Amino acid sequence: MLKKHLASLLAVACIAVSFTATAHEHGEAAVARSFIKDVQNIAGAYAKEHGATFFHELAKGQHPRAVVITCSDSRVHTNMLDQSPEGDLFMIRDIGNQISTAKGSVEYGINHLGASLLLVIGHSSCGAIKAASGDYSTVEPAIKQELDTISIKKGAPNIEGVKTNVNNQVAAAMEEYAEAVKEGHLMIIGAVYDFADDMKQGAGKLNLINVNGQTELAKLQAELNRKDIADESDSVKHAHH
């Protein structure tokens, strides 16, 4: 049975301290030096804020509720999904949020760590989708190899390509983990983090578009509102962390 509280996982959260992105020239060493100082300062503050007990508990092992595969795009961030992602989200990132290019990591999170949710997140203004929908024959071989596994129409609007790709990833996962889904051990969800508001649902929203292969809104909601999920959500909320 699925024993995860989806509402808490998908809640949008803000963090008190964040990196400030500024425009800069490509490959500036000065930017790198400045940034690593920021990293050290923030990491130090993070360690001080959480304290030794917090890290002692983390050192005991991990029991993530979800495997999340999303794009490497710097605009997509972990704390958009979970206020306390440590030990909770098994994060996998690659260009185009693809399962095929990170299959081993996905299998490890599901088969060995026992995550109950596989969450595939695409996003608006995706560069990988833009490239895959056009001519990318001149890019570096390693990049081309990863773009080759994105199956979308050439010339399609970016957001349509994003949604198609997410649905394709869910379909592939449904085939791979059909038994786990059927037995209620795993839920597979496809979503779009739409910071550009291309879907007209609100800028910055995480829009669910696919639940266990269901893409029709009514069926999607019915799958999310199943009684077993509702009954278990409170107990999971109190047990986690």
Does 31 fall in a domain? Answer: no
Edge-to-edge order in the sheet of strand 187-194: 89-94, 66-71, 117-123, 187-194, 205-211
Give CA 71 to chain center in angstroms: 7
pLDDT, residue 227, reads 63
Does 21 fall in a domain? Answer: no
Q: Which pLDDT band, with edges at 50, 70 and 90, does 25 fall under?
A: low
pLDDT at 21 over 80: no
Does 36 fall in a domain? Answer: no
**CB of 12 closer than 8 Å to CB of 206:** yes
Tens of pLDDT, residue by residue over 170-210, are 999 999 999 999 999 999 999 999 999 999 999 999 999 99
Mean pLDDT (the chain, rounded): 87
How many domains does the chain divide into? 1
Gyration radius of the chain over CA positions: 19
Does 49 fall in a domain? Answer: no
Does 116 fall in a domain? Answer: yes
Q: Which pLDDT band, with edges at 50, 70 and 90, does 7 fall under?
A: very low
**Which structural domain, as residue segments, surrounds residue 186?**
6-13+62-239
Residue at 117: amino acid letter: L
Tens of pLDDT, residue by residue over 108-157, are 999 999 999 999 999 999 999 999 999 999 999 999 999 999 999 999 99
pLDDT, residue 56, reads 96
